[in-house]
């Protein structure tokens, strides 16, 4: 199951993580975000223990979204060693996300 990231836990859960993290910036009203939700959940299960996978609601947690200049959603960031290493914008195929995750494991 995908983790729930917040402005409060972002530092400890994402930036200080020992393994790469996929952060899905989304909103409940966003159609493409809803399309990506099952893919994010699948990835969370498939990468358990090697990549942390979670979601951050931009309406509820605006400061983290602003810090990473998330202008459109869904936006997914791959963060490794506290730094963004990949940005994926829009509804994309699962295989394109897997390709980017595998490059940073």
Contacts of 93 (CB under 8 A, 6+ apart): none
Catalytic residues: 30, 33
Per the structure block, which two tokens stand in for 72?
């459109």
Backbone torsion region of residue 55, taken as left when φ is above 0, otherwise alpha when ψ lies between -120 and 50, otherwise beta: beta
Residue 73 pLDDT: 96
From 3.40.50.170, 2.60.120.200, 3.40.50.300, 3.40.30.10, which CATH number describes the 3-100 domain? 3.40.30.10
pLDDT tens per residue across all 105 residues of the chain = 999 999 999 999 999 999 999 999 999 999 999 999 999 999 999 999 999 999 999 999 999 999 999 999 999 999 999 999 999 999 999 999 999 999 998
Domain boundaries, the chain: 3-100
Residue 105 pLDDT: 82
pTM of the model: 0.96
């Amino acid at each position: 199951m995908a983790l729930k990231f917040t402005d409060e836990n972002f530092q400890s859960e994402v930036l200080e993580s020992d393994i790469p993290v996929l952060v899905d910036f989304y909103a409940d009203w966003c159609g493409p975000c809803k399309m990506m939700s099952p893919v994010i959940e699948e990835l969370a299960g498939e990468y358990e223990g090697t990549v942390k996978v979670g979601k951050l609601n931009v309406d509820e947690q605006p400061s983290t979204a602003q810090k990473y200049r998330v202008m459109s959603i869904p936006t997914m960031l791959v963060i490794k060693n506290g730094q963004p290493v990949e940005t994926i914008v829009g509804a994309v195929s699962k295989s394109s996300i897997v390709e980017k995750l595998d490059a940073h494991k």
